[in-house]
Structure 1
């Protein structure tokens, strides 16, 4: 038995099992991210095992079996974000101009100074609503050139990598900037009025990630997602939540958000739309998200070209179609999910009542 192959198999198994533990430490939660990379590693390892080991030995088949189970487990999480899965959100058939709107979500990266490249993208795709993350005062000065076409705005320039701006062609009403869990991590909340006059409740989020350089645990991020999810669960309003959630689409905590909120993910059955890291093709995952209530169908969703940030921008066009979307269903919360969510919120001493509930005037 070749020792390096045994060690590699044990490491693959450990990386696969670690996220099953709900501990919020960054190392545990971080193993949710590279599932595609771990699936690729498992495939390569199986090939090496078949070529290099004695197939007449039961130990060889034990190692191959472990690797196959790890591969299947990693693919289980990723497969919903492929065209081989049934779409969670219906495709818009006949979009009405006054009932459709587009949202561009972009982490611009504070040190990135390629504002011209980014503004060129914004002008090219002409979103109805633009939300930027990590935008500071320097970025605000450049983004303000959009005011002629996007006269409605919310601004929170910060130098701590958590600044946030929203610019909109559509009226923004009942706007509020909140610090839901951490004193220096803002979120934005507003009611957007569509051209048809229909109001849409929107929440723009950018919680801090679990990492050795920021929060050592995911507790703060998870708490923000939980309380926003619980705040929109029983709302009969059309709802959109978007932003850089510093969590991948398939993680247990993002799935918990979807279960609690009842919101849908338009990427399911359409694609992964990896938005980070823009500079490293082999180390990418979907960190920027848009979730919405059943009131919408999706007209298009795309990842935009590189503009100098470590993130790609995500452009989503939705159509307000409550009659067609009323039978759309996402994930359902079970008792264990609700208990887990309650413990996350209580640990940070926050609740759904802390989340603004914007309503049209």
Structure 2
């Protein structure tokens, strides 16, 4: 706020004492200074609210869940607010902006720091895992080409329409992927798990968009597989988004000590409390975090990098180490596919 500096007149001094260094006075300079203060304050309102929810481990209500997905980009308005506060010498606003920048910066620091240690026990199998959201089946042909080129051992497919299911049945050799768990549905609801390893049926998550599950036999070990595709947190579906992520959390907790892979389009980032709940409940780790690729954007694919956010994940139990993680551009979808190279360790 503006402060007035009272002047004194000495004997024979007919001039008012000059205004203090932070008093712009009532003229145009004072108006600009007050305008700058309002501008900086307004810029800080949204970042402050969102980062406060992040610190409180809550996703709150709209628009917080949507803005948490882009938490790193809130550094921009906070930085502009700090510059405006510095220019106007607004010390309270400087402190506010600096605090918001510091807390936001703490939360957006690289996730992968200090996570290079491998699980105990020897590696018994190498497993490549691919997850891809095909956007209403639009990237089906690109997926088929990717499978032929990369030959992953496990494939998690979201938004696989009836045409996509038919293309997988006709275009993917049973010799390459003899084991499949396919849920046929229209629009974005269809999903599929393809595997080079024997699969046994397992109860999936009851949801609007299909989230099937299976148990894979890999090197003599039973590995729980769960495809993730909860509803997106659009303003009128935040409660459903939170509920379905909660069901995934319960599913992750039910795996117990068994090796597990949960992969797909989570419509959530590690800045969402509901997503972190899944990690904690299942003792899971994000493979991109282990591979040093945290915060690499996967959606929307059309934005130039580093714009966007990472909502496509491959989560693994502590039985797995990660050799690499790569995001692949598939024509026909607004998501980038994620291919991770894993090693399964015998930690028994």
Tell me the TM-score normalised to structure 2 length: 0.79
For residue 249 of structure 2, the aligned residue among 206, 226, 230 is 226
Residue 117 (structure 1) aligns with = 142
Q: Deviations over 1:204-237 (max 9, x none)?
A: 12111221354555432232132113212xx222
For residues 115 and 263 of structure 1, what CA distance do their matches in structure 2 show? 29
Matches within 5 A, 1:278-293: 278-281=301-304, 283-293=307-317
Residue 38 (structure 1) aligns with = 74
For residues 205 and 104 of structure 1, what CA distance do their matches in structure 2 show? 13
Q: Please tell me whether Structure 1 or Structure 2 has the larger radius of gyration of its CA atoms.
A: 2
RMSD in angstroms over aligned alpha carbons? 2.6
In the alignment, structure 1 residue 4 sits paired with structure 2 residue 39:
yes
Residue 86 (structure 1) aligns with = 114
Change (3 A) 1:171 1:157: same
For residue 336 of structure 2, the aligned residue among 312, 321, 333 is 312
Q: The residue matched to 2:287 in structure 1 has which SS? A: coil
Instruction: Give 1 or 2: higher strand fraction.
Output: 2
For residues 93 and 280 of structure 1, what CA distance do their matches in structure 2 show? 42
Matches within 5 A, 1:238-249: 238-249=259-270
For residue 182 of structure 2, the aligned residue among 135, 151, 155 is 155
Give aligned pairs, total.
307
For residue 178 of structure 1, the aligned residue among 204, 220, 229 is 204
Asked whether the 8 Å contact 2:209–2:231 carries over to 1, the reply is: yes
Give unpaired runs (5+ residues) of structure 2.
1-33
Report deviation, 1:241. 1.3
In the alignment, structure 1 residue 104 sits paired with structure 2 residue 130:
yes
For residues 281 and 155 of structure 2, what CA distance do their matches in structure 1 show? 26
Residue 344 (structure 1) aligns with = none
Q: The residue matched to 1:62 in structure 2 has which SS? A: helix
Q: The residue matched to 2:279 in structure 1 has which SS? A: helix
Residue 322 (structure 1) aligns with = 346
Change (3 A) 1:307 1:81: farther
Residue 354 (structure 1) aligns with = none
Residue 338 (structure 1) aligns with = none
Asked whether the 8 Å contact 2:180–2:195 carries over to 1, the reply is: yes
Give unpaired runs (5+ residues) of structure 1.
327-361
Tell me the TM-score normalised to structure 1 length: 0.76
Point out the more displaced range, 212-221 or 196-205: 212-221
Change (3 A) 1:6 1:136: same
In the alignment, structure 1 residue 199 sits paired with structure 2 residue 199:
no
Asked whether the 8 Å contact 2:324–2:341 carries over to 1, the reply is: yes
Asked whether the 8 Å contact 1:24–1:217 carries over to 2, the reply is: no
Q: Deviations over 1:97-121 (max 9, x none)?
A: xx11111011110062x43222222
Q: Deviations over 1:171-207 (max 9, x none)?
A: 112x145342x4x33221111122x332211111211
For residues 105 and 277 of structure 2, what CA distance do their matches in structure 1 show? 19
Q: The residue matched to 2:68 in structure 1 has which SS? A: coil
Q: The residue matched to 1:31 in structure 2 has which SS? A: helix
Q: Determine which structure has greater relative contact order: mean sequence separation of CA pairs < 8 Å that are 6+ residues apart, divided by chain length.
A: 1
Q: The residue matched to 1:260 in structure 2 has which SS? A: helix
Asked whether the 8 Å contact 2:209–2:229 carries over to 1, the reply is: yes
